[in-house]
């Protein structure tokens, strides 16, 4: 079986399907993005997570052609940046991203951060609801939304996001927010799933990796998948690009899952959404 055919699909609340494992391109330099994303697509990834703020949407679009794939073969997520909050700006922002990607629509469009000090994420969300109705994005969601932000957009528009993309890894397991997502049928997407490498030397993870004959990175990706998270590790290294999608020939036991769950320290590596504006 090819790796892409082994990646499960997760059904979103709007009925659309998303490949549970994808490829993240944060911090991949714009000039390298087409080449590295092409290599990821050739390795079997069919889901790419980019953002306006990564300044590399164009490279993602180019990679689809370079890998000889059709637009519909690849699930593309991009995100609205903090400077584009507001109803009119949000509508313009997606069109600009589509131009960069050279596609007619994306599969998932996210509000990147709630930026609560600006207090216009509700207006921004209303624009995304319309952008979905216009067919410019198949699904809409948010990123870095806390419980209060989620409850507010749902209360004021009646529309819940398909996903919330949040920092989530063994050192920051987000149990409370994951429960909130489950209550609203919102899929959890985990960003920095490997904590940018910080969890990979953890003795508990290294021990499990030795026991199952896989690498620490593969064990952590498997932990996410078995928890139902959508995940998109980033790597510019060919061997790791291949390794990170080679996670469908083993399963973690309940005890191994629990041992990784026990590593939660409630420690972020990234910004706090309540104060990041
Ligand atoms: P990750 O947790 O994916 O870690 C990436 C780092 O780990 C890189 O330094 C990479 O090195 C290394 N690495 C990757 N695979 C392995 C492996 N198998 N073994 C050892 N080291 C490995 O961090 P990211 O922050 O990049 O998060 C992933 C994606 O999440 C982003 O690309 C982006 O799409 C999304 N994201 C979203 C955010 C948001 O606010 N919504 C914020 C941050 C990320 P190397 O590349 O040198 O191989």
The ligand 1 site (C-beta within 6 Å) comprises 24-27, 49, 112, 143-144, 165, 191-197, 200, 215, 217, 232-237, 240, 243-244, 270
15 part of a folded domain: yes
> What is d(CA 94, CA 112) in angstroms, rounded to the nearest whole number?
12
pLDDT of 197 reads 98
pLDDT of 5 reads 86
Which pLDDT tens digit goes with each residue over 175-193?
A: 999 999 999 999 999 999 9
Can you read off the two tokens belonging to residue 146? Answer: 């806390």
Strands (E), 161-220: 163-167, 187-191
113 part of a folded domain: yes
In this prediction the pTM is 0.98
Contact indicator for 121, 85 with CB cutoff of 8 Å:
yes
277 part of a folded domain: no
> What is d(CA 190, CA 4) in angstroms, rounded to the nearest whole number?
19
Q: Give the pLDDT band (50/70/90) at residue 1.
A: confident
Which pLDDT tens digit goes with each residue over 8-42?
A: 999 999 999 999 999 999 999 999 999 999 999 99
Which CATH number fits the domain that encloses residue 66?
Answer: 3.20.20.100
Number of domains in the chain: 1
Pocket test for ligand 1, best of 26, 217, 219 (most atoms within 8 A of CB): 26
Which pLDDT tens digit goes with each residue over 39-90?
A: 999 999 999 999 999 999 999 999 999 999 999 999 999 999 999 999 999 9
> What is d(CA 159, CA 184) in angstroms, rounded to the nearest whole number?
10
Q: Give the pLDDT band (50/70/90) at residue 104.
A: very high
The domain in which residue 136 lies consists of 3-199+223-249
Which pLDDT tens digit goes with each residue over 125-160?
A: 999 999 999 999 999 999 999 999 999 999 999 999
262 part of a folded domain: no
165 part of a folded domain: yes
Distance 237 CA to ligand 1 centre (A): 11
Residue 3: pLDDT over 90: no
Contact indicator for 163, 173 with CB cutoff of 8 Å:
no
Pocket test for ligand 1, best of 29, 216, 235 (most atoms within 8 A of CB): 235
19 by Cβ neighbours in 10 Å (0-12 / 13-18 / 19+) ranks as buried
SS (H, E, C) 116-152: CCCCCHHHHHHHHHHHHHCCCEEEEEEECCCHHHHHH
Largest CA distance in the chain: 54
Of 54, 75, 121, 171, the catalytic one is 54
212 part of a folded domain: no
CB contact set of 132 (below 8 Å; sequence gap of 6+): 14, 109, 138, 139, 140
Phi, psi of 240 (to 5 degrees): -75, -35
DSSP letter for each residue of 149-171: HHHHHHHHHS---SEEEEE-BTT
pLDDT of 2 reads 85
> What is d(CA 50, CA 76) in angstroms, rounded to the nearest whole number?
8
- Single out the residue of 219, 204, 238 nearest to residue 43, CA to CA: 238
Residue 87 falls in the annotated catalytic set: no
Contact indicator for 190, 230 with CB cutoff of 8 Å:
yes
207 part of a folded domain: no
> What is d(CA 139, CA 141) in angstroms, rounded to the nearest whole number?
7
Can you read off the two tokens belonging to residue 183? Answer: 């209550």
**H or E segment and range at residue 100:** helix 87-101
210 part of a folded domain: no
pLDDT of 4 reads 85
């Amino acid at each position: 079986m090819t790796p892409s055919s082994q990646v499960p699909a997760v059904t979103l609340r709007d009925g659309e399907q998303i490949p549970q494992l994808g490829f993240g391109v944060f911090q991949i330099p714009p000039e390298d993005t087409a080449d590295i994303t092409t290599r990821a697509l050739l390795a079997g990834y069919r889901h790419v997570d980019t953002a306006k703020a990564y300044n590399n949407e164009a490279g993602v679009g180019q990679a689809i052609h370079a890998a000889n794939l059709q637009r519909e073969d690849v699930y593309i997520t991009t995100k609205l940046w903090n400077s584009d909050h507001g109803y009119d700006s949000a509508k313009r922002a997606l069109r600009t991203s589509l131009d960069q990607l050279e596609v007619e629509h994306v599969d998932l469009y996210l509000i990147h951060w709630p930026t609560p000090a600006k207090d216009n994420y509700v207006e921004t969300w209303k624009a995304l609801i319309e952008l979905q109705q216009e067919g410019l994005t198949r699904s809409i969601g948010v990123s870095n939304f806390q419980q209060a932000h989620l409850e507010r957009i749902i209360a004021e528009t009646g529309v819940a996001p398909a996903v919330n993309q949040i920092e989530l890894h063994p050192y920051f397991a987000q149990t409370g927010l994951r429960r909130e997502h489950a209550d609203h049928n919102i899929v959890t997407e985990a960003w920095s799933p490997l904590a940018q490498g910080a969890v990979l030397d953890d003795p508990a993870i290294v021990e499990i990796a030795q026991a199952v004959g896989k690498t620490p990175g593969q064990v952590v990706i498997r932990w996410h998948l078995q928890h139902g998270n959508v995940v998109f590790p980033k790597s510019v290294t060919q061997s790791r690009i291949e390794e990170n999608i080679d996670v469908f020939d083993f399963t973690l036991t309940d005890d191994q899952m629990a041992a990784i769950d026990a590593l939660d320290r409630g420690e972020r590596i990234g910004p706090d959404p309540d104060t990041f504006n």
